[in-house]
């Protein structure tokens, strides 16, 4: 399927709106984080997505905030822009899940939660109402959010993604780095991201309260 200019503009506009909302929450400190939305039909072997350009201040909107890349993370158009350094992780999540959007942010609480439960390998959350944001309706549901090591070599991280994916948990945390959350579309991915961030703050604050006795 050949993408049209309208497809590209629609994807960029969608990312711009999400970027503005998340930037207002302070979730992109020091140009960190990255956002992407898949464009066009999905084939695990060949797909295209729009992603944030590397090194941009995400609290500011410019005409050069996004670019299109293929399933290997390579730009599909002639451009001076570089995709996010973590584009390969997006590629792998799209390939394995068929998601429509992936959002990645760095926050204090997702960093703290990843360190608190690093040795366990996942962040446990039990019985909190916002678990329902993932369409998990079990009473007193227990979920485990996977944690991966934060290697400097991004391909090393990407190759570990498949081994920790859990179908009902649309997210992966990198240790002392941040969360990748995804969904069928941008609306769902944002809902999942906000739910994860609420749960991380809950877990950290509850851990602190228990430590005080």
pLDDT, position 1: 60
- Taking CA atoms, 162 is separated from 23, 82, 125, 147, 182, in Å, by 29, 25, 22, 12, 15
Binding residues for Zn(2+): 104, 106
Binding residues: 104, 106
Task: Give me the domain span that covers residue 20.
Answer: 5-212
pLDDT in tens, the chain (213 residues): 678 889 999 999 999 999 999 999 999 999 999 999 999 989 999 999 999 999 999 999 999 999 999 999 999 999 999 998 899 999 999 999 999 999 999 999 999 999 999 999 999 999 999 999 999 999 999 999 999 999 999 999 999 999 999 999 999 999 999 999 999 999 999 999 999 999 999 999 999 998 887
pLDDT, position 84: 86
Domain count, the chain: 1
CATH classification at residue 95: 3.40.225.10
- What's the whole-model pTM score? 0.96
């Amino acid at each position: 399927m050949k993408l049209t200019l309208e497809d590209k503009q629609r994807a960029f506009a969608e990312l711009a709106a999400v970027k503005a909302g998340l930037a207002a929450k302070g979730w992109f400190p020091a140009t960190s984080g990255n956002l992407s939305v898949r464009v066009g039909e999905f084939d695990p072997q060949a797909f295209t997505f729009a992603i944030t350009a590397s090194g941009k201040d995400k609290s500011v909107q410019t005409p050069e905030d996004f670019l299109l890349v293929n399933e290997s993370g390579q730009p599909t158009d002639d451009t001076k822009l570089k995709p996010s350094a973590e584009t390969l992780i997006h590629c792998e999540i799209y390939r394995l899940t068929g998601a429509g959007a992936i959002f990645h942010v760095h926050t204090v609480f997702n960093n703290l939660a990843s360190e608190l439960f690093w040795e366990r390998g996942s962040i446990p959350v039990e019985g909190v109402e916002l678990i329902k944001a993932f369409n998990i309706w079990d009473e007193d549901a227990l979920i485990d959010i996977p944690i991966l090591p934060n290697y400097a070599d991004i391909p090393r991280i990407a190759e570990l993604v498949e081994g920790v994916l859990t179908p009902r948990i649309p997210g992966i945390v990198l240790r002392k780095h941040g969360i990748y959350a995804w969904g069928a579309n941008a609306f769902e991915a944002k809902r999942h991201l906000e739910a994860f961030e609420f749960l991380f703050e809950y877990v950290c604050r509850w851990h602190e309260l228990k430590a005080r006795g």
